[in-house]
Structure 1
Amino acid sequence: MNGNLSRELTEPGGLLAPGRIASVSPTPEAAVNTAFMACLSRNATTKEIAYFAEHERWEKDRGQEIQDLYWTLFNSPEFSWNH
Structure 2
Amino acid sequence: MNNQNESWMNNPKLSGMDMSKLAMLGQLAEQGKGKSPQELLPFLMSAASRNKESNLQFSSQEMETIIQVLKAGKSQEEIQRMDRMLQLIKMMR
Q: TM-score, normalised by structure 1?
A: 0.36
Q: TM-score, normalised by structure 2?
A: 0.33
